[in-house]
Amino acid sequence: MFNLAVYLPYLVNRAGVRLAEAFSDELEAYGVTLPMWRVMAALDHRDGQRVGRLAAMTSIEISTLSRLLAAMERKELLSRRRSETDARSVTVSLTDYGRGITDKIIPTALRYEEVALAGFSAAEVEALKAMLVRVFENLDALDSVASSGRRQIA
Amino acid sequence: MFNLAVYLPYLVNRAGVRLAEAFSDELEAYGVTLPMWRVMAALDHRDGQRVGRLAAMTSIEISTLSRLLAAMERKELLSRRRSETDARSVTVSLTDYGRGITDKIIPTALRYEEVALAGFSAAEVEALKAMLVRVFENLDALDSVASSGRRQIA
DNA sequence: TTACAATATTTGCAAAGACAACAAAATCGT
DNA sequence: ACGATTTTGTTGTCTTTGCAAATATTGTAA
């Protein structure tokens, strides 16, 4: 029998949608959308990344990301320039303005994470995160087999 | 400092996107899209639901869902009819054809879940799912306060 | 050098999503 | 009983996303 209430993809999707829609509301105050925030968070984590790596990090499809980066560039949140070491690739960096907004959002994001994890012990939080990583890796391995193993993020 | 690699929304989104995109590929063989499958799974779980409840169960916004249901009705996967007890609401039911396809997909879905959870003990699986429910509930409570507490699913 | 692979962008198109306006029916207060 | 309000679902409109194909540019390998 198929019990939706204990079906992992259902539970992940449900939690993900809620996380996304609630935080989107909070982001409005900063004038950025959720996908923009994801890019900004990835760039805060490591600035000056190439577009392909950024796509892998944010789980945003590359053509979608290309359009998104153009929009963010128009908003002066980031800049793109050709890489010096490999002129095929494009390096994306936050502008000072973009970094400023990012730094303002981060505390909000962390508070929001606390709300999502209210009632969790530190051990539970750690366990949950570790298991989400494992789920991702299980599917990543599967995907790499199917499409000849690219998609590495550091 | 902001460490993306242990940020819950990031981990959930990443896992969710992977779950979605890999299973979408599998669904192609059955001629249904992922959102369609989500609706079918919800109806398999409980048939004859109203549109609003279905929206809550599938985390699909109601106007999006309304159009999706129209498309699925055209494909003869399900039928809509006005409720007899409350003529405002619409009752959605799988057709025999839709149920047949659903029954064929379910084993694939379960196998796919196993792949995602490879290497997990039964206790870990249970813990992961329970924690995802708790995350959802934490955000649901927050949301209910903001919008005056509707959105109940059974 | 020539062929091939990798990187990113762009475009077309269809599916999906969000938000507001609307219509129909139920409910509530008086 | 009646009018205002709420609930429920659909539709209009616009935006975003995803996927595939075409293009440009650069790197790599035979």
The domain segmentation of chain A, as residue ranges, is: 21-116
Instruction: Select the more confidently predicted residue: A70 or A152.
Output: A70
Nearest partner of B127 among A121, A17, A110, A19, judged by Cα: A121
Check if residue A151 sits with its Cβ under 7 angstroms from strand C.
no
pLDDT of residue A17: 95
Q: pLDDT tens across B56-111, in order?
A: 999 999 999 999 999 999 999 999 999 999 999 999 999 999 999 999 999 999 99
pTM to 2 decimal places: 0.91
Show residues of chain A in contact with B143, CB under 8 Å. 18, 22
Q: How far apart are CA B37 and CA B40, in angstroms?
A: 5
Q: How far apart are CA B126 and CA B129, in angstroms?
A: 5
Tally: H helices and E strands in chain A: 6, 3
Q: Tell me the C-alpha to C-alpha distance, in Å, between residue A52 and each of A61, A90, A102, A152, B29.
A: 9, 9, 21, 10, 29
Query: Nearest residue of A to residue B121 by CA position?
Result: A131
Bases of chain C within 7 A of a CB of the protein: 6-12, 15-21, 24-27
List of protein residues whose beta carbon is under 7 A from strand D: A 33, 35, 60-61, 63-64, 67-68, 86-88; B 17, 21, 24, 50-53, 62-63, 65-67, 69-70, 80, 83, 86, 88-90, 150
Inform me whether the C-beta atom of residue B115 falls under 8 Å from chain A C-beta atoms: yes
Query: Nearest residue of B to residue A154 by CA position?
Result: B5
Q: pLDDT tens across A66-83, in order?
A: 999 999 999 999 999 988
Report chain A's mean pLDDT, rounded to a whole number: 90
CB-CB neighbours of B110 under 10 Å: 11
Inform me whether the C-beta atom of residue A71 falls under 8 Å from chain B C-beta atoms: no
The helix (run of H) or strand (run of E) holding residue A125 is helix A122-146
Residue B152 has pLDDT above 50, yes or no: no
Assigned token pair, B90: 């619409």
Residue B41 has pLDDT above 80, yes or no: yes
Inform me whether the C-beta atom of residue A62 falls under 8 Å from chain B C-beta atoms: no
pLDDT of residue B58: 97
The helix (run of H) or strand (run of E) holding residue A92 is strand A90-94
Question: Which nucleotide minimizes the distance between its C1' and the CA of A60?
Answer: D17
Contact B43, B92 (CB under 8 A): yes
Closest residue, CA to C1' of D9? B89
Q: pLDDT tens across A86-135, in order?
A: 878 889 999 999 999 999 999 999 999 999 999 999 999 999 999 999 99
Buried b or exposed e, range A127-144, using 16+ CB within 10 angstroms: bbbebbebbbebbbebbe
Check if residue B35 sits with its Cβ under 7 angstroms from strand C.
yes
Q: Per-residue pLDDT averaged across A20-44, rounded? A: 94
CB-CB neighbours of A97 under 10 Å: 12
CATH class of this structure's domain B21-116: mainly alpha
CA–C1' span, A88 to D24, in Å? 10
